[in-house]
Amino acid sequence: MRLQDEPDLPPQINIVPMIDVIFAILTFFIMSTLFLTRSEGLPVNLPKAATAKQQQVPAKITVTVDKDGIVSVNRQPSTVDGLAGQLRTLVGDNQEALVIVNADATVTHGKVVAVMDQVRQVQGAKLAIATQKP
């Protein structure tokens, strides 16, 4: 039996747990998108260039020279002398291949020129140097 004196309380919806769930989902999506960026070269400190432009070419090969002078092609270790042969294999019949030299700003000029010379020996490879805008 119900008493007549008892006031009828309106139903309530507690939204605090729903807000917690929404923030958890939002955090998940933010964190997952941070890992979706694709980095083709090894992390180096790129030099700055005011005239840098983005290039759009279908096939890209990244040659990285890190601060210690270690050369790698698409994140695989390589040597300067074996670079031309390795690039010929990667370029193959593709005449649209772009070879991006991703050299650290502290690498000596001679090392970068030697890498560029090896790239120029490959038929059909277009040479680009990675920089960042100031």
CA atoms of 78 and 89, how far apart (whole Å): 13
What pLDDT score does 37 carry?
66
pLDDT band, residue 46 (cuts 50/70/90) = confident
Q: Determine whether domain 59-129 maps to CATH 3.20.19.10.
A: no
Residue with the larger pLDDT of the pair 7 and 78: 78
| pLDDT at 55 > cutoff 70 | no
How far, in Å, CA of 126 to CA of 101, rounded?
11
What confidence tens digit (pLDDT) does each residue in 95-107 have?
A: 678 888 988 989 8
Q: What is the mean pLDDT of residues 15-30?
A: 93
The answer to whether 63 and 71 have CB atoms below 8 angstroms apart is yes
* Secondary structure letter of residue 116 according to DSSP: H
Starting at the edge strand found earlier in the chain, the sheet holding 126-129 runs: 76-78, 71-73, 59-65, 97-103, 126-129
Sequence ranges of the domains in the chain: 59-129
Spell out the residues 6+ positions from residue 128 whose beta carbon is closer than 8 angstroms to its own.
Answer: 55, 98, 99, 100, 101
Q: Residue 87 — φ and ψ, nearest 5°?
A: -70, -40
Question: Cα(76)–Cα(62) distance, rounded to whole angstroms?
Answer: 10
Going by pLDDT thresholds of 50, 70 and 90, the confidence category of residue 43 is confident
Q: Tell me the whole-structure pTM to 2 decimals.
A: 0.60
